[in-house]
């Protein structure tokens, strides 16, 4: 319990440094929830004890939810623009996803990551120059297409602009892709693509956050 509280406190301090609106937003959400629940059960139903207890519990839950979302947003803002930031987000996805970071890269530290999941294959590119990133992405797309057959292949460029997806929205964008494969087909596809990675060098300066690669 003490360790959990210490972790929560450390997360609060770190988030507060990156998000100066954290305290007023969380406090406002807690106060509003408390007043609404207390008003509904206390004033309207006349159940003050139940209303007070329920208001405290729900207000605490809402406060934790709001804090969690602000904390996640602050963490993403701190790593945004760094090589491997997109890979860090991809490796934190929940569900049946096989993430292979940096399947393609160049000297400018532009990166392409391959993700295999229920939607098929997703190539996610990140880098400073949209033109360079698109060229690298097209090159990897051509290579993967040779072994895919009819399996859907999606491409996402992480960055800013009309045809780009922000780092903040990458996780949401991935989960909203249409499903095309069954749960049993996903690992088979991952094994089919694995030979493409043999002998692949590790790009220098690429340090994604430790994540997961399901097997």
User: Domain coordinates of the chain in residue numbers?
Assistant: 2-79, 85-197
Sequence-distant (≥ 6) Cβ neighbours of residue 103 within 8 angstroms: 112, 113, 114, 123, 140, 196, 197, 200
The encoded tokens of residue 31 equal: 């106060």
| Mean pLDDT on 148-173 | 90
Count other C-beta atoms under 10 Å from residue 68's C-beta. Answer: 12
**Does pLDDT of 175 surpass 90?**
yes
The more confident residue out of 100 and 205 is 100
What does the mean pLDDT of the chain come to?
83
| Sheet of 111-117, strand order | 98-105, 111-117, 120-126, 153-158
| Mean pLDDT on 65-69 | 81
The pLDDT-based confidence of 1 (bands split at 50, 70, 90) is: low
pLDDT tens-place string over residues 86-111:
998 998 898 999 999 999 998 888 99
pLDDT tens-place string over residues 133-149:
999 999 999 999 988 98
pLDDT for the residue 48: 79
**Does pLDDT of 35 surpass 90?**
no
pLDDT for the residue 208: 54
The encoded tokens of residue 61 equal: 């839950």
**Does pLDDT of 157 surpass 60?**
yes
Residues linked to residue 100 through DSSP beta bridges, in sequence order:
114
């Amino acid at each position: 319990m003490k360790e959990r509280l210490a972790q929560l406190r450390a997360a609060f301090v770190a988030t507060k440094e990156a998000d100066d609106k954290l305290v007023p937003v969380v406090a406002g959400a807690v106060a509003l929830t408390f007043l609404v629940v207390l008003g509904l059960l206390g004033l309207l139903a006349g159940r003050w004890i139940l209303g007070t207890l329920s208001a405290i519990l729900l207000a605490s839950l809402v406060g934790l939810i709001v804090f969690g979302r602000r904390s996640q947003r602050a963490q993403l803002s701190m790593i945004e623009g760094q090589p491997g930031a997109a890979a860090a987000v991809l490796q934190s996805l929940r569900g049946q996803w096989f993430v292979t970071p940096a399947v393609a890269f160049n000297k400018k530290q532009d990166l392409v990551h391959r993700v295999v999941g229920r939607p098929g294959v997703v190539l996610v590119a990140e880098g400073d120059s949209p033109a360079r990133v698109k060229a690298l992405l097209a090159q990897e797309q051509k290579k993967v297409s040779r072994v895919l057959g009819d399996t859907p292949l999606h491409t996402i460029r992480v960055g800013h602009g009309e045809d780009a997806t922000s780092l903040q929205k990458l996780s949401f964008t991935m989960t909203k892709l249409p499903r095309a494969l069954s749960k049993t087909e996903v690992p088979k596809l991952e094994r089919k693509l694995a030979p493409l990675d043999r002998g692949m060098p590790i790009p220098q300066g690429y340090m994604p956050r430790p994540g997961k690669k399901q097997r």
